[in-house]
Amino acid sequence: MKSLLVFDFDHTIVDGNSDTWVVRCTPEKKLPDWLRKKYNGKHWNEYMREVLGYIGDQGIKEPEIKQVMESIPYCPGMIDLLKFICQNKDRVDCIIISDSNTVFISWILEFTNTSLAFDSILTNPATFDEQGYLRIENFHSHNCPQCPDNLCKRKALVNFVADQLKVGVQYKKIIYTGDGGNDLCPIESLEENDVAMVRKGYKLEKLIGEMVERHSCSVKPLIMIWSSGEEILSYLKKCLMT
């Protein structure tokens, strides 16, 4: 049986947030105050629709946006990790579950020739319309009170594993790599044989630490803290040898 590698994207594969990075394509390299103040801490996807609408209103077209997105840096060692995964597809399946969008992720991965590492990318659909505006949609609907209304990563992961099982693919281990608050929900669905790779110094590490301190930790998998792709790669090599 294979292992399943699951990656968040922003601040995990790339060392930044793709949704905020796109703002660098605007003339001022930032959003006007009136637009920034529209975000109230909820419904990020709806807010991003307004941001992308503003970018389109400035006459900024697909080639300019793409060039900016291709400049986002990867986390240290992450490209080497993804190339190792490409070379070991007989032993692992690998997916992304992200609150970014299909256009940004595909551009960034293709720029570094790492798209072949991934068997599936579960994220918000996005396309350019006839006027050259980038339009994004919600990935799915769900009833999870813990997650944003456009994406529950737990549901996305559970559904993917179930669909794989229907075609005869069963995973011996799931290794989930992430950094943010919305990665806690899918990690809570993992079992004792699984691994949660948690980025050091980011919100996910803090949330898991608080759960442990309250003695209310419902997280079953092994928790491993990482700072670079090299650390994940080192663990993965050892894991695949067993």
205 burial (CB, 10 Å; 0-12 / 13-18 / 19+) is middle
Cα torsion 79, 67, 183, 142: sign: negative
CB 191 within 8 A of CB 220: yes
8, 19, 183, 194: the active-site residue: 8
CB 95 within 8 A of CB 120: yes
Cα–Cα distances (Å) from 217 to 25, 176, 182, 188, in that order, read 42, 17, 16, 9
Contacts for 114 with CB less than 8 Å, ≥ 6 apart? 79, 82, 83, 86
Active-site residue flag, 183: no
CB 6 within 8 A of CB 175: yes
Task: Report how far residue 225's alpha carbon sits from residue 237's, in angstroms, rounded to the nearest whole number.
Answer: 16
10, 93, 99, 194: the active-site residue: 10
Task: Report how far residue 106's alpha carbon sits from residue 39's, in angstroms, rounded to the nearest whole number.
Answer: 26
Active-site residue flag, 8: yes
Cα–Cα distances (Å) from 76 to 34, 121, 219, in that order, read 35, 21, 27
For residue 176, list its beta bridge partners. 6, 196
Pseudo-torsion of CA 158, 102, 83, 208, nearest 10°?
Answer: -50
What residues are annotated to the active site?
A: 8, 10
